[in-house]
Amino acid sequence: MDLVEVLPSRLHMLRFPIGQAYLWQDGEALTLIDAGNVESAARIEGAIRSLGLRPERLERIVLTHCHRDHVGAAGELAARWGARVLAHRLDAPVIRGERPVPEPVLLDWEIPLYEHGLTVPEAPPTRVDRELEDGDALGFGDGAYVVHAPGHTDGSIGIHLPHHGVLFVGDCIAAAGPLMLGVFNVDRGRAVESFRRLAALAPSVACFGHGDPLTVDTAPALAKAAAETPA
């Protein structure tokens, strides 16, 4: 796992072989955006300690959606350190194991990528302490808000920190090379609409579930990519 500083004393990316998570700091209080796969808990804890921070100050884990490479370690971390797990209402039953993970509608070129993604261990059923809705305040980052961004999954969300100009987009947008619509969507049309809604927020920093964060010319790059993405 790689630990990458995005904003000094505020934001780090935790990069796994497939996917990534983000650690936000409000002083010593910590928020994790996504949680890697089920084998990631010890590495996340080690990363927190390597920054001179205490894992017992992890207050919340916000899940952008229900896929195994984002949810896997959330339950173990929450049980160990007392953090609350937050996810959108529509993905919460999947995260808890009450409903199956929704099957995406794959384009032909996505099939081998999807098969590779299935090599990630399945996520165990994980409790959700708070079910989120669009516009909900999250209690960190000097005002963080939920942006419902369905299409990748029904309950996919972005997380917007307007005071800091930061936007976490989950897997709605990918930065694996040129900015693009995320892959493995259950509803491409809605995913494109969500891409455009997120881009319209015009952040200065965009953090993706796959690909390096964008910190320079972010808003125009997102706007251009969204406009060029066909429905």
Q: Which pair of structure tokens corresponds to residue 86?
A: 């937050």
pLDDT for residue 137 is more than 90:
yes
pLDDT band at residue 177, thresholds of 50, 70 and 90? Answer: confident
What is the Cα–Cα distance from 99 to 76, expressed in whole angstroms?
20
**Type and span of the H or E element at 146:** strand 145-148
Record the pTM. 0.97
pLDDT band at residue 116, thresholds of 50, 70 and 90? Answer: confident
pLDDT of residue 113: 83
Give the whole-number percent of the chain exceeding pLDDT 90: 92
pLDDT of residue 110: 87
Give the whole-number percent of the chain exceeding pLDDT 70: 100
